[in-house]
Each structure stands twice: as C-alpha cells, then as structure tokens.
Chain A
Amino acid sequence: MRYLPLTEADRRDMLAAIGAGGVDDLFCDVPAAARWSGPPNLPGHAGEMEVEGHFRALAAKNLSAAAAPLFIGAGAYRHHLPAAVDALIQRGEFLTSYTPYQPEVSQGTLQYLFEFQTQVALITGMEVANASMYDAATACAEAAAMASRITRRRRVLVSGDVHPHYAQVVATALQYTGIEVELLAPDPLGLEDLIGRIDGDIACVLVQNPGFFGRLRDLSALAAACRGDGALLAAVVSEPVSLGLVSSPGEMGADIVVAEGQGIGNALNFGGPGLGLFATREKYLRQMPGRLVGQTVDVDGRRGWVLTLSTREQHIRREKATSNICTNSGLCALAFSIHLALLGEEGFRRLARLNHARAVMLAEKLAAIRGLRVLTPTFFNEFSLQLPRPAAPVVEALAERGILGGVAASRFYPSYPELAEVLLLAVTETNSDAELDALAAALREVL
C-alpha cells in the first residue's frame, strides 16, 4: 500500500511505546456491538496501472468536448486553458496546503487571494470581493440572505432569466429562514416587468446578465428603481468572460454581484467544482459571507496578508455567523487568477470580443436556415434559438452525429410546453469555423 509509510516493525515498536498489545486496544472505546470485524465487502488495494485502467474505461464511455464540437453553455463554459494554469496550480505548495490560518507560512495563498479579490472587484465593477464561494448558485443564495440582513426585509424577487439552478438553490436555501422567495416564470423574450413588482417589502431583486436565455440587459433603470424603494439589486453573471466586453453590473448600479468563475481558468469537470465569485460595496463589508484576505504588516514592518474580519464567520460567531461556509474554492480561485493574469487587460478584452464575434457568426449562419429564429436580439456568446420542432430530440440527433449541439430549454423547464422548441447554444473561442459550419449543416439535416 504505497501511501502508507509505516512498516510492520514500526507498528510493533510504536505499539510497544504506547503500551498497547495490539491495534485493537486503541479502538477499545468503540462499543463491542459496533465493531466491524470482517473486511469490507469491497475490492482490495490496487496498483496505479489497475486504477488507471479502470478510469480510462469509465472515461471512454463519455463523449468529451475534446472529441466532439461542443456548443453547450447554460452556466458552464469551455474555454481554452493556457498550459501554465494547470502546471502552476499543481505545485504542491498550492495544491496540498490548507486554509491559510498560519499567515507566516501561507503568504503565497494569502497574496494570490488578495490579488484574486482585486481582480474580481475590478471585473465586476464593485469595491470589494471575498476569497470565493462554492459556485454561483450558492453565491446567489448568500447574496439574497445578505440583502435581507442589510435591508431587514423578508422578500426576494428572482427574475425568470436567472439560471434555473440558481433560482432553485435560492428557493431551497432560504425556505426555512423566513425569507419569502418569489421566482418569476422563465422569460426567453425579455417580457417580465421587474420594476413594476418592486415595493417597500423587497429586500433584493436578483437578475442575471447575460440572462440564462442569452439576452443582455441594461440594469441601470432597475438599479434606480431598487434604490428608490430601499431594495438592493443583486446581479449574477454565469459567463465570466462576458465581463471583458459587456458593461459590468457594478457600472450599471448593482449592489451585490455574484458570478460563476469556472469559465476562467477551470475545466468543465461535468459541472463541479465551480467557483463562486462574490463582490459588493464596501459599506456592506461586515455583512459579507466567506473568507476575506486583508493587507497588514509584520513585526518588521513588511507588507503581508492575513485572513481578516473573521468575527463574521462560523468558527467565531457560530450560529450568529453571516454564513456557515468554511471550505471555499481556493484552488479554482487560483486557476481563475492565473488565467486572468495571463490574459491581462488586452487579452481579457480580446478573448471576450472573440467569443462574441464567433457567436454572432453562428447566429447569422443559423438565422439563414429556414425555420430557425434567434429569440434573443442581444447576447454575448450564447443565444436562444426557436426551432420548428421540439429541441430535445434535435439535441439527441445532433449527438448521434457527434455534435454536442446545445441544450434544450425543456431540460430545465419540463412543465413549460411553450419552451419545448427552444434551444440554447453557446459558442466560445474553442469553436472553429469548421465546427460552426458542421453544426449548421447537421441542424439542416435533423430538422
């Protein structure tokens, strides 16, 4: 067993030093009735070759985006990951360290988190950001709870253009907190009237930009309406690359901005782990959930970083904490931060522009096909397409042709027949011209 360094001789010597006759003596506090004597009914230990063989067999049963053109987004985006990102996050000093409780031997983690917080604040257009959450969905729930603490109000309004998983997580997470969550119906056409629903009881309005169906939204009027009624505007971004081209929610007046950071620096990984970004205004700092890294000095007067404002957190405040979160997405935050550092201002803007341009190209190609209609006049790199027939079997037919051609809205909204023919398509810089043509040709065939 290659991970266990003790030898039989070590074990004997150590038991002798302890004064125990055998290892069973060390488990004497386990009630006799609860001791599991037999070996677990599971396979025995295996070498690297066997385990790798097992995994390769599992992996071979999946159609990976490396082998098939992928046009699926809906909250998880496949971007090219520079080689340096994965090489750096696999350094053992990053990979195998713990939460930086001992700052003198954690300045590496603390400094990159401080840089990460700065990057997140800059791209979201906010003043402060935390050191990450699990994912955008849970971050949305934290944002709604935070807004309720700040406004002392108990109602949250969730736009129908928010990712259905985010909306569902908000509803689940808040259901026993006394906060009422109002989920609006899915809104591919941008018809909902949020401003008309705001009143003096609303703690926050949660909107997504770009929307789940792809539409871009000017949040300014909504932000003003929220301000006018004492509510907060929380905005979620599911495609972080959009922030390189689209005006940020902060610039448009949002009070809390959360986002899914996976699209920068992190692979798809079948949807997990994700990376929740969480940013807000400085005045709400003490109501924020999650870890925060702050700048300070050491006894020699040198600049350094520590975890700070921990009196908000569960290990100090217990049931009165702003959140129960402890573990976050540290390594995913590192990958995000490295990728964004490599891109820089120029690269980030160019990557975003490239994504948008390729999505526009696909939208134009598909709009030229009889029977297809782009439902979202504005979008970043993902749009909704109205098909002349149900989208779910179309997606299956495309998969049989080796193309992962979007996701049917009905997968998320099975009880809305009016959405049965809506297909969500995402395009990134990884989709070549040939892939765009292949999708268009395949769609012509299967429709």
Chain B
Amino acid sequence: MAETFSGSRGPFLEEPLLFEMDSPGQCGVDLPAPPEVSDRLGGLERTAPIGLPGLSEPAVVRHYTRLSQKNYGIDSVFYPLGSCTMKYNPRLNEKLARLPGLADIHPFQPISTVQGALELIDQTAHWLKTLTGMPAIALSPAAGAHGEFCGLMTIRAALDDRGEQRRRVLVPESAHGTNPASAAACGFTVDPIPANGRGRVDLAALKAKLGDDVAALMLTNPNTCGLFEDEILEIAEAVHRAGAFFYCDGANYNAIVGRVRIADLGIDVMHINLHKTFSTPHGGGGPGAGPTVLSAALAPFAPLPAVLHDQQGWRLVEHAGADAAKSCGRIKGFHGQFGVFARALAYMLSMGGDGLRQAAEDAVLNANYLLARLGGELTPSFAGPCMHEALFDDRFLKDSGVTTLDFAKALIDEGFHPMTMYFPLVVHGALLMEPTETESKATLDRFIGSVIGLARQARAGEAAAFKAAPVNTPRRRLDETLAARNPVLRWRPA
C-alpha cells in the first residue's frame, strides 16, 4: 500500500499521544481565578512542573474521537468473545444511571436523604435473589473476581466460626484463572480436578479428592466449555456430604437465568457478573459489579455494608454489631458499584421475568445454531447441545499451517471481533464462540459464511494469507515479545 504524506490511512488517522500535542499554557477548561488567601499548605506546595500537556477542548474531543475509531465495540460489530458475554448494552441504562438523583448523590449523605438509593439497591437485590432462589446477597463486590473473593471469604469465615481447619479448594482445570487466584488470596491451597471425556467434571475424580480438609469446590456452571454440568446434583451432594461448600462461578449465569434457579442446584454461593448477564457495559475493561448470592448458612458472614428496612425506612448497616455480628468485614470502599446496579436494574425492569428467560433461551439457541452450522466445517470439542457458547478446537486446522491465532486475526479483516482464543485450556487451540441473544440470525449467517470460507481457505493451503492478517486494521500484528522484554509503560519526553 502506498504511504501517504500524513502517514494516515484515511479514515484511520494517525493520532499522536496527548503529550506530543502539548501546546504549553493551553487549557480546555475555563475556571475562575482563585481568590487570594493565605494558604494552609504548611510549606508542602508542589513547585516543580508536573508535565501535563496543554490542549484546547476541540483538540481533546478530536483526539478521543479518533482513538475511539480504532476500537471494535458491540455497537459496531459482532463480538462473539466466549465467556465474556458481549451482549447489547441498552442506552436507556446509561440515561437513567445519570439522573442527578442517582449520579449526583454522595455516599455519606444522611441516610434520610438517600432513601431512593437504598431502595434501588434493595430492588436490585430482590431481583437477583428471586431469580437465583437464594436467600441472601452481598452487594459490595466490584467485579467477578472480587465476588469470588467475597464468596470465599464468607466460606472461610463460616469455617472459622465452626472451628474447622479446611484449607483445600478444588478447582476444575477448565476454570477461569481468577478462581485459583481468589482461592489463594483467601489463604486456601488449590487442588485441580480433571474433566471427563464429555467436558464436564469427572465425578469419580472429584469424589476421590473430597475429604475433611476440603473447604469448597469452585465450579463454573454452565462451564467454560459451554456445557451444563449435568451431574451437578450429584456433585453438590458429594461436596456437602464431605462437609465442604459449593461455590459457583456465575460468569455464565446468562445461559440459565429464568430457567434454572441456583438454589435448586445445591449451590451455597455464586457471584453474578452484572456486566455480563445483566447488560452493563464492559467499558474497555470495567467497571463491573459482582454481587454474590449466599445460602442461609453463609449469609451471616457477608461483608459490610448491608441494606435493611424497618419502621424508619431504609437503613445502611456500616459496622459490625447486632445486625452484622459475624460479617467477614469490609471488602470495598463505600456501598458497592451503585452506578452499575442502576444500569442492571434498568435492564431487569425492561426485560422482566419473561424477557430474561427468553434472553437465556435465545442465547442458547444462537450458540447451538453456530454449533450446528459450523460443526461440519470446524471441529467441535464436545457433543451438543451446548449452552450459551460453542467450543471448537484446532483439529480442523491440522496440517494447514494456520493456527487458532491466525484464524482469529483473519476474522478481524472479515469485520468481526474474534472469538475467545486458547481458553479454556482443556482443549487444544480453543476457539470459544459466544454469540449472545442480542444478535440476529442475519448477523450469525454472515459470520458463519466468513468462518466457513476461512476454514476452507485454510485447508486449501492458503496459510500465507492468514499469517499476514489482519491487514485492514489501524495496526497490524503487534510485537508482544518486544513489549514484554523492553517494557515501555509510559511516555517520556524525548
């Protein structure tokens, strides 16, 4: 491709760093002159320049607009990133979360002035408890991994309360990396359990590992292979018989919401990723929210704060005491991800109980449609039906010279965000596709057309085209080894 004088490949414009656009003294905000006062800084005033660049408001707006154009988002493309649940993020949620009565309230206002906020939190809790059938919920976790931490802390506190020294947590090999990391953060040791030939937990191996030193099983259900753990009732029974707790990673709860109640599966505790099942935006990596539903046995150990209702109205329990004597403590500042709750509640009210169930069914239908239509061309790892995502491995690329990574990069040129690659670790060269319920059949058909076309191209020996992909993006393949070997993590003046 011919180089341009600007270096840009319009409409993708080369965009310098903020720091390279510095116009010293320029400012994009007009502020009044500070009144003259005798300062109270005690001689601790900053004297040296900070080094922040000066830019006008139009320059800043153009900078970020151009940056945005270098991204793929759900609003622009199909984003079948398995295990991440990239469903449509309704704009209504954004509008309502920004109402001044919700966005412009302070966490430490007198309780009498935030009754609506506490009621909103309680309504969110009510929906989540009703949908899961669980009696209690901890609302403060900031994300899924933080919910895991919260759940394991309540388990640890419950064990301490019983005077039990159980320190081993069983985690399937297919689990998200956060599961073992969260277990380690709570002082547990992690013991992996293998999968069976059907992509589920090997029940016999699990039973063999259970013992009086096992604190919990952490199981993702539906699991990361996109399959429902069909022996889950036997699993729960075995875990409980051994005196351990059953933790469920709720990352994939979107597949079963409205069709299966978590309480009916024998689960003691599960976190819910509001940024997955309940449509709050991922925002390029957050913020999320990981409210964690709890059984009656674990409820007393939930972290602070809690929202209660009595004759005086809504109340916030901020300290251990009569209302929270056994709480495991505080795990986050303030009162949880309120702005995320508002979005999730707007979604739940919009969908209703009927719509949430329909969403789960459509998510599963869409995934099975991908599995059925692609099953003949790609190599499914396990027999269907699947739940909300379809897992393939790289056998279909055998001897083609094309890897899962190459295949993913070629999909970018086709105008799709790639599926999740190389996860879960239990199959070789995994391609994990999660379409979600908010994609139309027409979109899926276009995607299927591209995937089938690429699979045939790979088998036809056109590996070189894959190795070059992507070619249409603002940047082509980036040198990750260089980035790690010689870390440059910030701009510095030349």
Contacts and interface: CB of A to CB of B under 8 A. Distances in A.
A184 interface: no
B139 to A, nearest CB: 10
B297 interface: no
Contact of A327 (B29, B87, B285): B285
Contact of A309 (B265, B335, B484): B484
A3 B438 contact: yes
Interface string B5-31: 000000000010111000011111101
Interface string A133-154: 0111110000000000000000
Contacts of A45: 350-352, 354-355
B32 interface: yes
B29 A105 contact: no
Contacts of B408: 102
Interface string B59-91: 011011101111111111001010010111110
Interface string A246-288: 1110010000000010000001111111100000000001000
A270 B287 contact: no
B90 A94 contact: no
B267 to A, nearest CB: 10
Most chain A CB neighbours (cut-off 10 Å) among B35, B50, B348: B50
Contacts of B285: 98-100, 109, 131-132, 291, 327-331
B296 interface: no
B364 A123 contact: no
Contacts of A328: 143, 285-287
Interface string A88-107: 11111111111111111111
A94 B109 CA distance: 32
B16 to A, nearest CB: 10
Interface stretch (B180-188, B206-214, B239-247, B449-457): B180-188
A360 B39 CA distance: 7
B194 to A, nearest CB: 15
B19 A118 contact: yes
Interface in A357-399: 357-361, 363-364, 377-380, 395-396, 399
A17 B27 CA distance: 59
A308 B487 contact: yes
B372 A17 contact: yes
A62 B64 contact: no
A20 B45 CA distance: 71
A260 B187 CA distance: 27
A96 B44 CA distance: 42
Contact of B365 (A14, A292, A338, A346): A14
15 contacts: A34-B261, A78-B106, A82-B28, A98-B284, A176-B186, A244-B50, A251-B46, A268-B105, A285-B487, A294-B488, A324-B178, A331-B284, A341-B55, A354-B32, A378-B40
Contact of A351 (B24, B31, B84, B99): B31
The 10 closest A-B pairs by CB, nearest first: A59-B101, A271-B334, A92-B75, A331-B283, A271-B107, A61-B116, A176-B187, A330-B285, A172-B329, A42-B353
Contacts of B394: none
Interface in A55-83: 55-68, 70, 72, 74-76, 78, 82
